[in-house]
């Protein structure tokens, strides 16, 4: 029997589209403002196979923009996010990795995944993941420039390499401005939307 979410989603996609979505395996590197929000949007689109990587714990300062709740403060982000996603869709295939990422590990960690999503706050982690992801040749969606408020039309999606896609304004980083819900969630939604497009249409964006 289909879950409530699956029954609802079936109204909006063809059987072939749903087959592609459900067969796709996603790797989400970072479960904060970008990763947690992108994850639940992707689950709402029908994706069922996700690997979640993060080593941090939920803090009070995360609640302004991340897909967590006050009673989850102190929990590992991977565990808390898994709880929330499973509440939305019980029939998920989740893998949680609670570790700090090192660039050379990316190929091994993502061996079973089809599309990679970079969702780190730390610039060094971002650079390490994207460098390692580029070597895999798999479609990789990353982010740069989402902090502050206003000017959301500046958050663009561009293809910057053969298989690398960038969401953001490339300017407003979190070391300059605070990470606030509206722009963070816009970027997370654009990451999720691009993943959906890649699965349903392939890599058709201009480089």
The answer to whether the CB of 139 falls within 8 A of the CB of 165 is yes
Helix, strand and coil content of the chain, in percent to the nearest 5, comes to: 45, 15, 40
For 65-119, what is each residue's pLDDT tens digit? 999 999 999 999 999 999 999 999 999 999 999 988 877 799 999 999 999 999 9
Task: Give the mean pLDDT of the chain.
Answer: 94
* Residue 5 belongs to some domain of the structure: no
- Give CA–CA dist 7/107, Å, rounded: 35
Spatial distance between the Cα atoms of 141 and 54, rounded to a whole number of angstroms: 17
For residue 173, what are the domain limits?
A: 15-201
Return d(Cα 81, Cα 32) in angstroms, integer: 9
Q: Does residue 9 fall inside a structural domain?
A: no
Tens of pLDDT, residues 120-136: 988 888 889 999 999 99
Q: CA-CA distance, 180 to 185, in Å (whole number)?
A: 8
CATH of the domain at 150: 3.40.50.720
pTM of the model as a whole: 0.95
**Into how many domains does the chain fold?**
1
Beta partners for residue 97, in sequence order = 53
């Amino acid at each position: 029997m289909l879950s409530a979410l699956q029954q609802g989603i079936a109204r909006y996609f063809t059987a072939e589209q749903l087959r592609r979505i459900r067969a796709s395996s996603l790797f989400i590197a970072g479960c904060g403002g970008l990763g947690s929000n992108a994850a639940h949007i992707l689950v709402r689109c029908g994706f069922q196979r996700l690997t979640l990587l993060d080593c941090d714990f939920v803090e009070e300062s995360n609640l302004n923009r991340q897909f967590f709740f006050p009673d989850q403060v102190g929990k590992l982000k991977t565990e808390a996010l898994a709880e929330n996603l499973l509440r939305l869709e019980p029939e998920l295939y989740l893998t949680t990795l609670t570790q700090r990422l090192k660039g050379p590990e990316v190929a091994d960690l993502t061996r079973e995944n089809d599309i990679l999503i970079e969702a780190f706050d730390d610039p060094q982690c971002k650079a390490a993941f994207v460098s390692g992801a580029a070597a895999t040749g798999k479609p990789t969606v990353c982010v740069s420039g989402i902090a502050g408020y206003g000017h959301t039309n500046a958050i663009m999606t561009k293809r910057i390499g053969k298989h690398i896609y960038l969401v953001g304004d490339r300017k407003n980083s979190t070391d300059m401005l605070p990470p606030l819900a509206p722009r963070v969630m816009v970027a997370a939604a654009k990451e999720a939307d691009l993943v959906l497009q890649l699965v349903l249409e392939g890599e058709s964006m201009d480089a």
